[in-house]
Amino acid sequence: MMRTQVGIIGAGPAGLLLAHLLHLAGVDSVVIEARSRGYIEGRVRAGLLEQGSVDTLAEAGLAARLRREGLSHDGLELRFDGMSHRIDLHGLTGRRVTIYGQQEVVKDMVAARLETGRPLYFEVEDTAVHDVATAHPRITWTQEGTRQELHCDVVAGCDGFHGVSRGAIPAEVLRVYERIYPFAWLGILAQARPISHELIYARHSDGFALATMRSQTISRLYLQCAPEEDLSAWSDTRIWDALQTRLGAVNEGQILQKGVTGMRSFVAEPMRHGRLFLAGDAAHIVPPTGAKGMNLAIADVRVLARALTAFFRGEGEALMDRYSETCLSRIWKVQRFSSWMTAMLHRFDDNDPFEHRVQLAELDYVVHSQAARTALAEQYVGLPYES
């Protein structure tokens, strides 16, 4: 039997950042993760950080390599109807975004955790959460055939959309809001020079495409595809041809990795039940357009770390009581933004012609109205934090 103050399920950006912020505040935690270290450090995910996310990581002392290797972007490009339009993010908001892969963030956070000497266990199985409605919740799991039990004051469910934590909130308490999109993204990582210094979001009659990057020599490219797309139907040639058509031009190179990302909008409320707190994808999923997933996880954890720190300092539960409400007010605005970006840029097969013309008019309006550009930009660079 082990004991800690905060039992953290999941070593993604949410769980690891929470562990680190708690460590800085002198709060003890144990982090458990179902996957191996190699898996979580190698998994290619999104890679766009809002300025506030970068600042949060920097304040936590987690941004040394990010500052050296991250690519700072002052704008982005929208392409449709054969034309390109730049959105001057920095000119419109005074803020910028940074390209830095999620798995690089995870590597930096794992290294920081190991440095503290506090526990981080990989490849745990059969994780279960117990007694969250009491002041003595527990987490149990099996590791290398041995049953483990962790007694905590608080459990943080940072175990993603498919994790077990959300299931510990009774069904009669949990409200779920969900939308599944009739398309997905096929993403590749390629040994190829990015076509542009900035990101290009393209709306084409064949479907959406996005050109982003990880470095001066590595491109990350996405294509709208069918929801259950069979990767074997996409030869390298077919992928490059489709990218060429939708983006106008691409630099080809060796494809290092391919994957299909399903698209959904999802929110589970409330994000707290008793001594269980959900953060990141365990509580909400956004479609990838605009890259808000990791940024929302970081925003949740800022609020949670502060609330838990106050609690363990004997300042009571007021911030814990407000956790769900505080996070959800940001989450719903970001849900709105992500579904709006998705609707504006994708091809909907069952679109009626009227909807299609409205979609083009929306893009035309966004790029020609300073007010509309500003609205896009201020959400893209990241809404301000509540506190």
Catalytic residues: 73, 201, 288, 292, 380
Element (H, E) at 77: strand 76-80
Under the binding rule (CB under 6 A), the answer on residue 290 touching ligand DHB is: yes
Which one of the spans 31-39, 43-51, 114-122, 369-377 is the region binding ligand DHB (CB under 6 A)? Answer: 43-51
Q: Which is nearer to ligand DHB, 48 or 320 (CB)?
A: 48
Residue type, 65: R
Instruction: Give me the least distance between CB of 306 and ligand DHB, in Å please.
Output: 28
Residue type, 311: F
Phi, psi values for residue 377, rounded to 5°: -65, -45
The answer to whether 60 and 67 have CB atoms below 8 angstroms apart is no
Cα 274 from Cα 170, distance rounded (Å): 11
Nearest to 190 by CA among 127, 240, 125: 240
Under the binding rule (CB under 6 A), the answer on residue 212 touching ligand DHB is: yes
- State the residue for tokens 């030869």: 235
**3 state SS of 327:** helix
Q: Which is nearer to ligand DHB, 4 or 379 (CB)?
A: 379
Cα 40 from Cα 123, distance rounded (Å): 11
Instruction: Give me the least distance between CB of 175 and ligand DHB, in Å please.
Output: 27
Q: Which is nearer to ligand DHB, 102 or 326 (CB)?
A: 102
Which one of the spans 44-52, 59-67, 236-244, 346-354 is the region binding ligand DHB (CB under 6 A)? Answer: 44-52
Terminal alpha carbon distance of the chain: 38
- State the residue for tokens 């290398």: 144
Instruction: Give me the least distance between CB of 316 and ligand DHB, in Å please.
Output: 39
Under the binding rule (CB under 6 A), the answer on residue 263 touching ligand DHB is: no
Under the binding rule (CB under 6 A), the answer on residue 291 touching ligand DHB is: yes
Under the binding rule (CB under 6 A), the answer on residue 199 touching ligand DHB is: yes
The structure tokens listed for 89 are 């993010």
Out of 52, 194, 288, 382, name the contact with ligand DHB by CB under 6 A. Answer: 288
Q: Which is nearer to ligand DHB, 49 or 267 (CB)?
A: 49
Out of 16, 17, 19, 48, name the contact with ligand DHB by CB under 6 A. Answer: 48
Under the binding rule (CB under 6 A), the answer on residue 289 touching ligand DHB is: yes
**3 state SS of 64:** helix
Kindly give, in sequence order, each residue whose CB lies less than 8 Å from that of residue 308, ignoring residues fewer than 6 positions away: 6, 22, 27, 154, 156, 277, 320
Instruction: Give me the least distance between CB of 47 and ligand DHB, in Å please.
Output: 4
Under the binding rule (CB under 6 A), the answer on residue 4 touching ligand DHB is: no
What sign does the dihedral 86-79-298-103 (CA atoms) show?
negative
Under the binding rule (CB under 6 A), the answer on residue 220 touching ligand DHB is: yes
Buried/exposed code over 107-120 (b: 16+ C-beta within 10 A; e: otherwise): bbbbebbeeeebbb
Out of 11, 31, 34, 46, name the contact with ligand DHB by CB under 6 A. Answer: 46
Q: Which is nearer to ligand DHB, 100 or 234 (CB)?
A: 100
Instruction: Give me the least distance between CB of 28 and ligand DHB, in Å please.
Output: 34
Q: Which is nearer to ligand DHB, 220 or 346 (CB)?
A: 220
Which one of the spans 115-123, 144-152, 284-292, 350-358 is the region binding ligand DHB (CB under 6 A)? Answer: 284-292
Instruction: Give me the least distance between CB of 209 and ligand DHB, in Å please.
Output: 12
- State the residue for tokens 């991250």: 70
Which residues, 52 to 111, sit near ligand DHB by CB under 6 A? Answer: 99
Which one of the spans 140-148, 268-276, 287-295, 364-372 is the region binding ligand DHB (CB under 6 A)? Answer: 287-295
The answer to whether 113 and 13 have CB atoms below 8 angstroms apart is no
Residue type, 117: G
The answer to whether 51 and 63 have CB atoms below 8 angstroms apart is no
The structure tokens listed for 137 are 């919740």
| Residues contacting ligand DHB: total by CB under 6 A | 12
Instruction: Give me the least distance between CB of 187 and ligand DHB, in Å please.
Output: 7
The answer to whether 122 and 12 have CB atoms below 8 angstroms apart is no
Residues that bind ligand DHB (CB under 6 A): 46-48, 99, 199, 210, 212, 220, 288-291
